[in-house]
Structure formats: C-alpha cells, structure tokens
Amino acid sequence: MSTDPHALFDIWLADATASEPNDPQAMCLSTVAADGRPSARMVLLKGHDAGFVFYTNLESRKAGDLLATRVAALTFHWKSLRRQVRIEGAVSCVSDAEGDAYFATRGRDSQLGAWASDQSRPLDRRETFDDRFEEIKARFDGGPVPRPSHWSGYRVTPDRIEFWQDRAHRLHERRLFRPDGQGGWTEGLLYP
C-alpha cells in the first residue's frame, strides 16, 4: 500500500469512481465561522494536486467562513467501499487562470446559474431566482459566459490526511499522514 497519501487518495478515488453509483467526488466541507460556529455541506472535488480543489460563490456562507479562518476539513465517504478519507488543512484561493479554466468546462446553464445565484441569501420566492436566471440568459445570449468575479475556487492544502477502512467487529484500520517538514509525510496507524 502506498506511503504517499496523495497517491493513495488517487487509488481510492479511482476505486470509488468505478463503484459508487452517484458522485464519487462528493465531499463534506466543514468550516468554522469567526465566532466559532461550525457548518458542513456537500461540495464536489474538482481538482487534486498538492491540495483538494472545489469551486463556489465567493459571497456564500462557506466563503465567509474560509475568509475568516483560512482552514477547513473535508470528508469523503464511499459507503459501497466502506471507506472514508478525512482531510484537514489551510485554505487558499485558486488563481484567476485556474478559476477561468474550470469555469469554461461547466455547462452553459451552470455558468449562467453562477451569475444568477446569490448563494446563502434568502429569497422571497423561487420565481425571483428563475426570473434572474432568465435575465442573465438573455444578457449572454449567443455569446460566451465569462466567469463572474464573485465565483472561483479554493484549495485545501492538507496538514493531516486520514484513511479509514471498515473492518469486522468495528476493528477499523486508520492510517494518519502528516507532513514531515521536509517535503514528505510521516505515517501512523490509529486504532478504534
């Protein structure tokens, strides 16, 4: 088994992609607000390099939490494989070039939705959003949809990655990786 947590993650994600019926890239993003209030929600992994990348509205509640604390936790749970991966680390913004490149891969309606959404803000009724979406659709009719300035991505650079594998009698296997300070990782086994 790999001693590089990023390589091991790639293996586990490939296994999940082959076996999970829906959204193997789904991960729970946990944040903490400046006042210490925790919050969790599901987002999709959209890139994996030295960190784990997801995209969102920069005016959302999650973005406010990330701006305030600059840390987050991610949890992948692949039920059919009886595995999970827990990641904790510092958060940084992706570059404008990265944000633009990813935005260009999204479906047109998803691009338009990024313009129309006031994510995390209450609306008086659904039709308000639907009307706004139609206005944005008309605004960009026949042309490309640029990435809005209020929409981009974040990278969670891990300082802790834990791989959890279900075992009989709740005697699970847990492998914890932490940076060794020299560009590598130290590994420890945790037990239930």
Catalytic residues: 170
Question: Which one-letter amino acid corresponds to residue 29?
Answer: L
Sign for the CA dihedral angle at 40, 42, 43, 47 comes to positive
Q: Where are the beta strands (DSSP E) in the chain?
A: 26-32, 38-44, 47-48, 52-57, 71-78, 83-93, 151-165, 173-179, 185-190
Nearest to 113, CA basis, from 64, 148, 153:
148
> Which residues, in sequence order, are CB contacts of 171 under 8 Å at separation 6+?
191, 192
CA distance 6 to 107: 29
For residue 58, with 0-12 CB atoms within 10 Å meaning exposed, 13-18 middle and 19 or more buried, which class applies?
buried
Residue 155 corresponds to which tokens in the numbers above? 């990278």
